Amino acid sequence: MTLEQLRIFVAVAEREHVTQAAHHLNLTQSATSAAVSALEHRYQAKLFDRVGRRIALTAAGRLFLSEARAVLVRAASAETVLADLAGLRRGTLALTASQTVANYWLPPLMHRFRARHGGISMTLRIGNTESVTSWVHEGLVDAGFIEGAINDPALDCEPVADDELALVVSPEHAWTREPPASERDFAKTRWVLREPGSGTRAIAEEVLASRGVSLSAADIALELPSNEAVRSAVEAGAGATVISQLVVAGSLKAMSLARIAVAMPTRQFVMIRRKDRYLTHAEVAFRDLVRGAAA
């Protein structure tokens, strides 16, 4: 049974006339009759009685008519949904992002997208870079945003923004009076770091390594699971950290943190998605918005 057969049956049943139904559907009379006959033959059910030049629904035909109409209504509704999805009038967009991106960079873009496409519902799942990459890889979300590059052949990776990093301490830290100049300076101070698997943790490790300090040799005072916890601990004097300028901008302005004048690398925020995942209209529109913001 096909939707076309159902449409033909309903047209014939409503007019009780094959020729009129064929004209309405822009079909030949033979094609219209054949569709009805195919239904009757396939299900061994007589749907019409032939009365002279006209036809009339049988009892089975009357029962089937209500069901056929219901199916066509549902099919029309499904077509409307697809049209709405194509036109961004409805739909969903499931995103995930690592903490710095999710808390400081992505929300304004999500707000702009919702302002343009109010019918698209959005969700955001937050984790560290490792967990975000895993969720995207497993297909649990449409797209993800992380800090720094990854090597996963199943994923498309597109840099979308640069992130400035800062070396910060509390105002009472010795480095505010004499910035670090040697490997020994970096090795002997205490450090507050994010947890393993975090992009911010990885970049801090890179900074220490560039100064000749291995992680095993560093004095790690605290390992904390969020940027805000790291920032708060450093403000309290727990040690130094390398963190996104986005996270500490307010604290630097309030002078509850001090930025040390040491050159820091610049990392990138990267948009990731599975290469084999269908790219929805909502994803395309959000990707274009992100690219526009980057430009």
Q: What is the pLDDT of residues 246-264, one digit of tens each?
A: 999 999 999 999 999 999 9
Q: Is the pLDDT of residue 150 over 90?
A: no
Mean pLDDT computed over 187-208: 94
The vertex-81 CA angle with 78 and 83, nearest 5°, equals 110
Residue of 177, 179, 205, 211 whose CA lies nearest to 191: 205
pLDDT score of 28: 92
Residue 40 burial (CB < 10 Å; 0-12/13-18/19+)? middle
CB atoms within 10 A of CB 294: 14
pLDDT score of 73: 83
Of the two residues 82 and 102, the one the predictor is more confident about is: 102
Which amino acid, one-letter code, is at 104?
A: Y
Residue of 239, 214, 191, 202 whose CA lies nearest to 128: 202
